[in-house]
Every structure is written in C-alpha cells, then in structure tokens.
A and B are shown apart, each in its own frame.
Chain A
C-alpha cells in the first residue's frame, strides 16, 4: 500500500507534540483520526458534557470559555484542546466554540492516554500545569543556547597572529623584553618546535620579581613546564571549563601535529561571546568628543547581535545592552558639561522606562530628564536648558532617537527641581485619571545615571511613601495594566499587528513584556518596595511575601522566554540590515516555541487577573 494520508501525517509532523513521535507512530495514529468540520459559531464541546477525544485544530480557530462564560483562550491551527477533560475522566469544563469555520482532527482518548504513557515528551506537553511547562521551555531554550558554545570550536576564535615564543635558554630579561615588544602577556617556550612551557606576566611578577631571581637566569627555570593544552578542534565550553577549573587565563592551542598554533586567552573567548560590549563600553567611557561618542555608540547593535549569537541568556543581554546605554547617557552629560562649564547647582540625569529597569534592547528611543537642586535661579535654569538640549541632541545622534512622547531633557517639563518633581508625582498619585496614568507609568521606573544621585533618591523616597497604601492610585495602575491585549494562544486575527515592512505578527513588547512590567511595578509600588528592574521586583515581591514564590518564578520565566524570542528576532533583523522591531511573525517560530508562548501568555493573563483582584478594586 502506498504512503497514505500524507497530508495529515505531514501536518502532524509539524505540530507539537506529535512532531516528537516517530514517523511510524504518526502514520498509525493518523489512521485513528476522525475529521470533523464546525461552522463559525457552532458549539464544539459544551461544559458539563462528556468528551472522549483530543481535538487538534487543523484549520480555523476556536475559543475556550471557562464554565461557558469568561473568555479564556483562543486556539488556532496546530493547537490541541480538550486534553484537560481527558485527564480528569471526560467531564468538560471549558465550553469550546468555533470562532471561524474550523476543521478539527479528533484522536480517541484511549490513543491519547497510550501516547502519554509511552512518550515522555508527549506527557510533558500535556502536563497539567502551565507554569511547569513554561519552566521546562526556558530550561530547553537555555540548553539550546549553551549548546552553541559546545558547537563552536576554539579554532574559530584564534587570531592568525603567530604565537610569540622563545627557546628555554633565553634569559628572563630577554624574555620580558620580547613580551613587552610583542605586546603579549604570555610567552610560549619551545624546544625543537615543541611547546615545553609557558611564561606569563604573572610568572614574571610571582616567580621572578617577588623571589628576586636574577634576570640573567634562563627562562626555563621560572616557566610553567608542560602546560595543559587543547587541540584546535576543542570547543569553547571545554576551554572555559579548563580555565575555570585551573584558575588560569591562557591555554596553548596545538595543531593537528602537536605544533603550537596559538595561545588562547580568556579575552579571546570573551570577545567572541560579546565582550565587544565591554570594548564598546570602554570606547564610550573614553569618548573625548560628541563625534567619538556617536561613533562608539554605533558598536552597540553589533555587541548585541554577538551576545545573542554567543548564547548569552536574555537577562545578560539586556543587562549589558542597558549598561552600554547608560554609559552613553552618562558620557553625553559629561561632554555637555565640558562644553558648557560646570553646573551652577547640583543636578542629576534621570532615565525612565526600560533603561531605568536595566531591560533595554537595541533601537530604543530616549526617555530622560534632569532633576535639579531647589536652589537653582533663572540663570541656572538657562544653563540646564542648554545642557538638557545638548544631551538630548547627542543621544539622538548616538542612536537613542528623540522620544515621541517628549520625555527628554530638552523639554522644559522634564527639567524640574526636586520639589517640582515631587509635586508632579503628587499630582499623578493624588489626582489620578485614566489618561494621566496611561502617560505616567513610565515615570515610576526611574533611575539616576549621572550627577548627584542623592537628588534622585529624594524624589524617589517621596514617591514611594506617597504611593504605598494609596488604594485609588494603585487601582488606576492596576486597571491601566489591563489594557494590554494579550494574545491568548491565538496567532491570527485578533492579535496580529502589522510591522513596518507589512508582515503580520504579534507585538512581543506590547502584548507580553509590558503586562509583566506593569504587574511587577504595580505590586512593588503597593508594597513601597524600591526595586526597579522587573526580575528584581518579582524577587522582592516573593521575598516580601506579597506574591507566591511559584507565581513570581512563572512570571519571571514568561518574561525571560518572550525576551529570548525578542532578542533573537531583533538580532536576526540587525544581521539582515533591518531596523529592529518587536513584531514577531508566528511563522518564524517553531511549533514548540509557539506552544511555549501560549503558556507564557496564559501565565501573564493569570498575573493580570491577580492584579485586578488585588488592586483594581479601589475604583468605585
């Protein structure tokens, strides 16, 4: 008999968790499928009835309604539903309705149970708890990332520069001069083309100078004999592990025939992994002119893509990218001060939003302002007007483009004294309305990056004190958070936004990241906690007992998961020479990633619901 029902088999092959089954297994379950068609609006499963099938959406979309009422999830092509009823013996709790004309594949419950019994992946996929699933998703992503380290060989890192070497009878003084002239910190000691030892800066310090050994002694008496080596084909993680275990930073790398190829340093590895972030940071910090600053800042996207390619986890990539952004802001302020002379009164440069939280990716616009000592006079205000304008202009040129909402130091309402900031915050807190809160949430993620940090803490302490326990204000915050349109599992219709080049996708920032930030911010403020970063806030909430540890961990994982996808998406755009955005096309994700995302959305929805229950009640 010929290969049959190939369409259905190949569909299952692309659909989690069936993609994890063997082709033979897929062929045999294909035969057990019943195909059904539901017209838009038709009830597929009604709460309270019995069900004995796992449903797979082949085309169209369905909506699951908890107890027939509140919307809980929308599922499209490739999604499974009705598994919970199979797991609890058939009783249906979610009424399921066809949102569109829907073709569904039904797999008998008995097959579902057999597959769960025989396949760990299948079982894991239908694990009852979503937070469990998302945790395993993050684990898997991290594993995938560290795999890239295991797959790159150190050969790829080696510069083509000939290693600097000398013979064992070379005098210590000549060896040191050779190192100095060649600008290397490690010297290879070779006899007959074979490596017999290495001699480093540290050896010079510890074994020669500290022990007062004569500079005329042969280097062989102070070198490290028979050093550990690695073949060129070794992978990066082996080299890292060896350095970590041995406490050294240099490893000689040997070629196929045991000849010395190069000395691999920890710096080489760091550079490969995205230490260009560190280099860029140095260039930024040392930039002597606005032009030099702009050109140094141009290295940020490159550092970002290399961190992504190098397998950095989302939290590290965000932290490094933010650190660089912060450095650019600080340097812009310093350079502006150089141009204008020292400030007449103390001030600080404030940043708001993602940079304040330490969660910046590339392509962000600037959100900043100045907080100025209350003693400032009119002439002083003119100074800060020029200063703020210079800072904003420099940042714009350096890639932190002007803020569309006007939140930048060049605008007068962003250059306030301590007491002016305090009363501005007071107005938001004491007289909230929807529109004000919509525009004000960003101000509650604030940090000073330059100047007199004490000015910022006077504003912040005042704000924290005013907010904590202010039910009305908190309820506005909590309600504002509910605006975000979280896609509940569906990857079409309702949730897709158009990106600039017209491709459709979901907005990873607006629809997943911002809600988590909102949840963390609202709860943190309600507790009067000072943490600003979202992960820090969630940790602080768990520690303060405001949020169950498990819930905090799930939200952190959801946040990291979406950010991993976002970072990969933006790095791919940068590599393709495109402007990075947050619109991810569902088609660019693997079926598994899509399923993980659905779980992340569900966790976020849970967080928003909890926020609504806990804080939004203050509105009459």
Chain B
C-alpha cells in the first residue's frame, strides 16, 4: 500500500517535471523508470555522494561523485567526480575532513553544469547512498536553484537497509559506512572524496544484496 502510494506520487512528480517546459527535465521525466516490482538484479542504480562545506541546510556543495552500476557489478568507466566552484569562505572543519581547499574549490566546475550532468546520469536510475536523505535534500535544493523546480528522486539508503538487515546493533556507530562495510569484509577506505564514498556505498549495496533472496524487489528496498 505504501509502495503503491509512493509510486503514484513519483509518477505525478514526473508529470509536474515534464510540465516545466525545460528540455532537461522533460528528458528526466521520460526516462525508462523501473517498476517497483522489478527484481533488484535488473535495476539500474546510481551511487552518489556529495561533499559539503558544512552540515547546515544551506551548506555549499564542494564535490560530487557518482557511478552508475547494477547488481552484477560496478563498471568504473562511467564514474564521475567534480569539484564544484565556490566563492564562499569554507568552513574550516569541513575542509580538514574533505581536503578540498579553497583554491581547489574555486578552480572547480560551475555548479550549473554539474547539476545538468547529474540529472542526466540519474534519469531512469535509483540513487544509492549511505544516509540517502542528505543527497536527496541537496538534489532538491540544487535542482530548484538551477531549474526553478526540484526533481523527484527515487533512492535506496544503504544505512536504512542495514538497520533492517542487522537491527540489533547498539547505537549509531555500528551503522556508519566504514563499520558496516567491515561486517561484509569490504576493504577499509582511508580517502573521503565524493567518488570514493560513492564507490563505498555501491560496494556495500552489492554486499547487502548478496544476503538477500535473488528475487528481492526494488520496491521493497526504496525509502525504507
């Protein structure tokens, strides 16, 4: 029931998207979107990660990394990573973590082009991230700023999925990306750029899928 409602809402949002008269949004809406009862093995996915200059609602996007994949594997040919140009003075703490200095951020791509590319990559794909609500929120924000309209996004959150697969761990620590990966025997990644984190989330989903029945439906994993 919730699933059916969700797909109705998404279909309606796509129609609203198409009605904007922006070619890029029309293309997004017209993409071949998978039905909720499609087996996970056949679904096109896009792992996505943003690095922001802080945690606030208006934090700036510094870096975006994404890679299309599916349950069979992650083909790195289409992996993308962009530094986003920003003139704002960076939040020092965030810079220390991400290693993206001001100079590099200023030399990055204009945000508009990055958003266009991202929307193109996301068309027909289910977004995958660890803690997907951050990415969903940022996509809404940057597409509204770019097109005057926020695109609807379908997503699988590996964090929420992990809480379902391993519900009894104590506290939040065991559900963080690195700790979760460790449980599946995935390697420790020391780097924290957007593309590395996107790759980490994609690998994690493959590992999580290996624990579930082959016929697991897409709809059962979206927006847990």
Cβ–Cβ < 8 Å partners of A106 in chain B? 73
A-contact 0/1 string along B170-185, CB 8 Å cutoff: 0000000000000011
Are A31 and B199 CB-contacts (below 8 A) given A1-B82, A36-B206, A59-B187?
no
Are A36 and B72 CB-contacts (below 8 A) given A1-B82, A59-B187, A102-B185?
yes
The 3 closest A-B pairs by CB, nearest first: A101-B185, A37-B206, A35-B74
Are A37 and B187 CB-contacts (below 8 A) given A5-B76, A30-B76?
no
Considering the chains assembled together, what is the distance between the CA atoms of A378 and B137 in angstroms?
98
Smallest CB–CB gap between A34 and chain B, Å?
A: 5
Judged by a CB distance under 8 angstroms, whether B133 is at the interface is no
Considering the chains assembled together, what is the distance between the CA atoms of A31 and B67 in angstroms?
11
Considering the chains assembled together, what is the distance between the CA atoms of A39 and B81 in angstroms?
29
B63 close to A31 (CB less than 8 A): no
Are A34 and B185 CB-contacts (below 8 A) given A7-B191, A39-B211?
no
Are A37 and B76 CB-contacts (below 8 A) given A5-B195, A7-B199, A101-B185?
no
Q: Can you name 21 A-B residue pairings with CB atoms under 8 Å?
A: A2-B83, A2-B193, A5-B79, A5-B196, A6-B191, A8-B76, A32-B76, A33-B76, A34-B73, A34-B76, A35-B73, A35-B74, A35-B202, A35-B206, A36-B72, A36-B74, A37-B186, A38-B210, A42-B210, A101-B184, A103-B203
Cβ–Cβ < 8 Å partners of A1 in chain B? 81-82
Q: Which of A34, A35, A37 contacts B210 (CB 8 A)?
A: A37
Residue of A whose beta carbon sits closest to that of B200: A7
Considering the chains assembled together, what is the distance between the CA atoms of A35 and B75 in angstroms?
7
Residues of A within 8 A of B (CB): 1-2, 4-8, 11, 30-39, 42, 58-60, 77, 100-103, 106
Cβ–Cβ < 8 Å partners of A30 in chain B? 76
Judged by a CB distance under 8 angstroms, whether B57 is at the interface is no
Residues of B within 8 A of A (CB): 63, 69, 72-77, 79, 81-83, 104, 184-187, 189-191, 193, 195-196, 199, 202-203, 206-207, 210-211
A7 close to B73 (CB less than 8 A): no
Residue of B whose beta carbon sits closest to that of A61: B185
Cβ–Cβ < 8 Å partners of B81 in chain A? 1-2, 4
A32 close to B73 (CB less than 8 A): no
Cβ–Cβ < 8 Å partners of A77 in chain B? 187
A35 close to B185 (CB less than 8 A): no
Considering the chains assembled together, what is the distance between the CA atoms of A77 and B186 in angstroms?
11
Are A103 and B73 CB-contacts (below 8 A) given A5-B199, A38-B210?
no
Residue of A whose beta carbon sits closest to that of B188: A59
Considering the chains assembled together, what is the distance between the CA atoms of A35 and B82 in angstroms?
21
Are A2 and B63 CB-contacts (below 8 A) given A8-B76, A36-B72, A39-B211?
yes
Cβ–Cβ < 8 Å partners of A58 in chain B? 187
Residue of B whose beta carbon sits closest to that of A102: B185
Considering the chains assembled together, what is the distance between the CA atoms of A330 and B195 in angstroms?
68
Q: Which of B63, B185, B196 contacts A7 (CB 8 A)?
A: B196
Considering the chains assembled together, what is the distance between the CA atoms of A42 and B72 in angstroms?
14
Cβ–Cβ < 8 Å partners of B189 in chain A? 7
Seed contacts A7-B187, A101-B207; 14 additional CB < 8 Å A-B pairs = A2-B193, A7-B190, A7-B196, A31-B79, A32-B76, A35-B69, A35-B76, A36-B74, A59-B186, A100-B185, A103-B187, A103-B203, A103-B207, A106-B73
Smallest CB–CB gap between B192 and chain A, Å?
A: 10
Cβ–Cβ < 8 Å partners of A59 in chain B? 185-187
Which of A4, A31, A36 has the most chain B CB atoms inside 10 A of its CB?
Answer: A4
A103 close to B76 (CB less than 8 A): no
Residue of B whose beta carbon sits closest to that of A37: B206
A6 close to B193 (CB less than 8 A): yes
Smallest CB–CB gap between B203 and chain A, Å?
A: 6
Cβ–Cβ < 8 Å partners of B193 in chain A? 2, 6
Cβ–Cβ < 8 Å partners of B211 in chain A? 39
Q: Which of B73, B74, B185, B195 contacts A4 (CB 8 A)?
A: B195
Cβ–Cβ < 8 Å partners of A33 in chain B? 76
Smallest CB–CB gap between A299 and chain B, Å?
A: 46
Residue of A whose beta carbon sits closest to that of B195: A4
Smallest CB–CB gap between B25 and chain A, Å?
A: 26
Residue of B whose beta carbon sits closest to that of A38: B210
Considering the chains assembled together, what is the distance between the CA atoms of A215 and B145 in angstroms?
107
Cβ–Cβ < 8 Å partners of A11 in chain B? 187
Considering the chains assembled together, what is the distance between the CA atoms of A293 and B72 in angstroms?
70
Smallest CB–CB gap between B77 and chain A, Å?
A: 6
Considering the chains assembled together, what is the distance between the CA atoms of A190 and B70 in angstroms?
84
Considering the chains assembled together, what is the distance between the CA atoms of A36 and B72 in angstroms?
7
Cβ–Cβ < 8 Å partners of B75 in chain A? 34
Cβ–Cβ < 8 Å partners of A60 in chain B? 185
Residue of B whose beta carbon sits closest to that of A58: B187
B76 close to A36 (CB less than 8 A): no
Smallest CB–CB gap between B57 and chain A, Å?
A: 26
Considering the chains assembled together, what is the distance between the CA atoms of A30 and B189 in angstroms?
16
Cβ–Cβ < 8 Å partners of A39 in chain B? 207, 210-211
Cβ–Cβ < 8 Å partners of B104 in chain A? 2
Cβ–Cβ < 8 Å partners of A36 in chain B? 72-74, 206
Considering the chains assembled together, what is the distance between the CA atoms of A60 and B75 in angstroms?
20
A103 close to B74 (CB less than 8 A): no
B83 close to A31 (CB less than 8 A): no
Cβ–Cβ < 8 Å partners of B77 in chain A? 31-32
Smallest CB–CB gap between B191 and chain A, Å?
A: 5
Cβ–Cβ < 8 Å partners of A31 in chain B? 76-77, 79
Considering the chains assembled together, what is the distance between the CA atoms of A32 and B199 in angstroms?
14
Residue of A whose beta carbon sits closest to that of B208: A37
Smallest CB–CB gap between B207 and chain A, Å?
A: 5
Residue of A whose beta carbon sits closest to that of B196: A7
Residue of B whose beta carbon sits closest to that of A33: B76
Smallest CB–CB gap between A530 and chain B, Å?
A: 53
Smallest CB–CB gap between A30 and chain B, Å?
A: 7
Smallest CB–CB gap between B147 and chain A, Å?
A: 25
Residue of A whose beta carbon sits closest to that of B109: A1
Considering the chains assembled together, what is the distance between the CA atoms of A34 and B76 in angstroms?
6
Smallest CB–CB gap between B132 and chain A, Å?
A: 20
